[in-house]
Structure 1
């Protein structure tokens, strides 16, 4: 049997199916549910600036690219991660649109922000960006633009802690919303280099967090949370850039650890500077 045939047989085995289920459903669902619960609780207890920064710590992108690299190889993962900074920039536009539309209602905010995300993502996919520098430039432009609009034009101010009575049912509802959205996103994150990069940073954490904030706290808190997550977004981008340079140099395991440390350092810096944001 040829190597290619062996690979095909391996991919259809029960063991591979269990591995695929674990990767595509179980781990993303559990991790994202935990992240969103923690993010919303931190925002409610310590304010939207702190919650936004903590909420953008590298989380699902770690799982996505770890398994992409293991399944497809380091070169595939490195090629896929090039698009991530630019796509994160589009995710910030998603947050901006949701915040601007949130005074209407959840369906309008959800549909409007997702339509904007889809249109910009299609344009990004068609552009075939192959340079990490160009991708970073797109992110920086979107970061400055969205933060400027929410902070200076709309004058959205950060929200302090609010009183919330937590129940098992409330936390279960948050986890189901987050887990379902992200499990679908990760399932689509292993299809082609560019699409893998795009879906690895699909705004699932952002989307589920916005819906939860809107349902439970209203438009004002949602807008403040959106601004906080925009402010914290450089941590995810720094992780992606770390992968781009470290995976080929030191391998998947050490590259993942090194990239996470880079993202963690950026997060600490953002936390220390957060008082400069209104």
Structure 2
């Protein structure tokens, strides 16, 4: 049974990270950035919390997962700032800065008494804050795409697999508060950022980072839904319902964004 769970974790991790990296290359880093906020890593982690411990444990962890998303956003911001100013050992120092920032925010949050309302409000405020701080980043598409060899696919899979296994092992050693906070670690986003940065440039990874806060709202909705429906319907139906609510947000965002873009275009044409 343990070996089967490990296999499932690895398979899901590999699929998500490779899928997002290919999406960044063949569609755009902007789209990959938005979808990286889709409940992938957190969904896997919370699901296995429910499977390996209990649905109630996962539901409690989901509340702190929402708060932990603030640390996740700080993670990408720290990576962005570090990658802007470090030239030598850019990727290593950016990664270390991001990880240190994540754990610093998690440590601070652990000392705050959190209720459900605060758990919703804090990551929403952080999302709007980082949307503002990232507003001047340019969206850059990938033109010279890297050839996907078996070696490239293996390296991409390795990062995701390692991080997923580490984070989903947390509930065996800590309570739901810490487990929930750690479950917000960007398990699929971090490997994606490393892949894009190593394969292309920091400008491309900055495009991914710029669009993460937009997708982060789907994660907030997902975790909130998990906290409500897991105890009521169990982890299987609860996961389907939670994914449905997160997907609905992205569909609504896409529609609203399309209307806004059409309106801006119409105004621009009329002004000419």
TM-score relative to the length of structure 2:
0.86
Pair 1:174–1:274, CA change in 2 (3 A) = farther
| 2:66–2:184 contact (8 Å) kept in structure 1 | no
CA contact (8 A) 2:68 2:184 kept: yes
**Corresponding residue pairs, total:** 254
3-state secondary structure, aligned to 2:140: coil
Aligned to 2:76: 95
Query: Is the CA contact 1:143–1:230 (under 8 Å) kept in the aligned structure 2?
Result: yes
Look up the SS of the partner of 2:205 in the other structure: helix
**SS of the residue aligned with 1:204?**
coil
- In structure 2, the partner of 1:230 is 213
Q: Contact 2:218–2:246 at 8 Å: present in 1 too?
A: yes
Which range moved further: 31-40 or 158-167?
158-167
Shift in Å, 1:39: 0.6
Shift of 1:242: 0.7
Query: Is structure 2 residue 107 aligned with structure 1 residue 116?
Result: no
Residue 273 of structure 1 and its aligned partner are, at CA, apart by: 4.4
> Which ranges of structure 1 fall in alignment gaps of 5 or more residues?
1-18
Please state how far the C-alpha of 1:245 moved relative to its aligned partner.
1.4
1:64–1:189: 8 Å Cα contact kept in structure 2? no
2: CA distance, partners of 1:206 / 1:189: 21
What residue is the counterpart of 1:39 in the other structure? 20
CA contact (8 A) 2:45 2:164 kept: no
- In structure 1, C-alpha distance between the alignment counterparts of 2:202 and 2:257, rounded to whole Å: 22
Note the C-alpha offset of 1:274: 5.0
> Is the Cα–Cα contact under 8 Å of residues 67 and 120 in structure 2 kept in the other structure?
yes
Give RMSD over aligned pairs: 1.9
In 2: Cα distance, 1:215 partner to 1:70 partner: 35
- The one-character-per-residue Cα deviations of 1:26-71 (angstroms, maximum 9, x if unpaired) are 2222211211111111111111221122222222333322232233
Task: Judge conservation of contact 2:49–2:58 (CA < 8 Å) in 1.
Answer: yes
Match of 1:138 among 122, 144, 158: 122
Aligned pairs for 1:59-208 within 5 A: 59-103=40-84, 104=86, 105-129=90-114, 131-151=115-135, 155-164=136-145, 165-190=147-172, 191-208=174-191
For 1:187 and 1:179, the matched residues in 2 are separated by 12
Shift of 1:193: 0.8
2 CA distance for matches of 1:88 and 1:259?
17
Measure the CA separation in 1 of the matches of 2:109 and 2:48: 24
Q: CA 1:70–1:179 in 2, change beyond 3 Å: closer, same or farther?
A: closer
TM superposition shift of 1:248:
2.6
